Structure 1
Amino acid sequence: MNCYECHSEGRTATAVAVCSRCHAGLCPDHLTVESRLVREPRGMGQVTQGPEARRVLCGVCARAEG
């Protein structure tokens, strides 16, 4: 699979990850990695799980989520 962003720029690069929102293939130059706490409903509230989960996003989705 090739990077979607590179393809849009007229280049070809191998994708190393997939955006967790839009599922576009991404090369290392076009991905954003962020960490998030995992929260699960339990009983009368929520439980936060550690360690933080890794999440890969493309630039467009990262900006949209602000």
Structure 2
Amino acid sequence: MNCYECVQQGRSEVAVAVCYVCGAAVCVDHVRAESKLLRGPASPGKVIRDWPARQLTCPVCRAAEESP
């Protein structure tokens, strides 16, 4: 699978990830990896825990998330 952003620019680059928002395939130059914490479900008598996770996005979705 090729990077969608590169194809739009007339290039062919192998995709290494898929954007979690829109599902576009992106190469290593276009992907953004961000650390997130996932919160586990709470139940009576249990401790709520956060687990480290990773979120991968394309440039378009990244810009949309960062816009005010």
After superposition, where does 1:1-66 map in structure 2 within 5 Å?
1-43=1-43, 47-50=48-51, 52-66=52-66
Identity %: 48
Unaligned runs of 5+ in 2: none
d(CA) in 2 for partners of 1:37, 1:48: 9
Runs (4+) off by over 2 Å = none
Root mean square deviation, CA, Å: 1.6
Count of aligned pairs between the two proteins = 64
Unaligned runs of 5+ in 1: none
TM-score (norm. length: structure 2): 0.82
Q: Which has the larger radius of gyration?
A: 2
